[in-house]
Amino acid sequence: MPTRLRPFPARRISSPYGWRCRPGSTTKSFHLGTDYQVPGGTAVRACEAGTVSDVRYDAASGHTITILHAGGWSTKYHHLRHEASVAVGQPVDAGQVIGYVGHTGTAAHGDHLHLEAWRNGRHADPETYFEEVDTP
């Protein structure tokens, strides 16, 4: 089984995966990831060894890195402070610093990391990704 690490040791979940009302709204929408509230500038580490498949900036997600892992998994790290410290095609190790917490894009509640976990093209609860015991 591959080594899976959280992006930083201490964390506070400010918005879990699943249905929620966005800050300032009464309309529910599905939140595809988990938001971890940590101080801006905190190092973000790759959750698992893999290969960087995408590095981009967009108005909603801000600076984002996507890493492909074994077993059909990928992880996406959103709202990073600066441009990525890694490049597309670069292999990364579990625990390697890939960026820093920020609030780029439409980060409604300040500095945080929005982490998504995907398996075979379908979103999954990042907490399940960390708790998974068997990776077929």
Number of domains in the chain: 1
Whether 21 is in a domain gets the answer yes
Which range marks the domain in which residue 61 is found?
Answer: 13-131
| 27 within some domain | yes
- Position with higher pLDDT, 132 vs 52: 52
Classify residue 53: in a domain, yes or no. yes
Are 38 and 112 in contact by the 8 Å Cβ rule? The answer is yes
Q: Is the pTM of this model over 0.75?
A: yes
CA angle 105–124–127, rounded 5-degree value = 90
* CATH number of the domain encompassing residue 89: 2.70.70.10
pLDDT at 133 over 60: no
Tell me the backbone φ, ψ of residue 45, rounded to 5 degrees.
-110, 145
The predicted-structure confidence for 83-100, as pLDDT tens digits, reads as follows 788 999 999 999 999 999
Flag whether 58 is in a domain. yes
39-84 tens-digit pLDDT: 999 999 999 999 999 999 999 999 999 999 999 999 999 999 987 8
Residues 6 or more apart whose Cβ sits within 8 Å of residue 70: 2, 48, 49, 50, 135
Q: Is residue 4 part of a domain?
A: no
Domain membership of residue 2 (yes or no) is: no
Q: How confident is the model at residue 135 (pLDDT cuts 50, 70, 90)?
A: very low
Q: Is residue 1 part of a domain?
A: no
Express each pLDDT in 15-43 by its tens digit: 899 998 876 778 888 989 999 999 999 99
3 located within any domain: no
DSSP characters over 46-110? -SSSEEEEEEEEETTTEEEEEEE-GGGEEEEEEEESSS-SS-TT-EE-TT-EEEEBB--SS-TTS
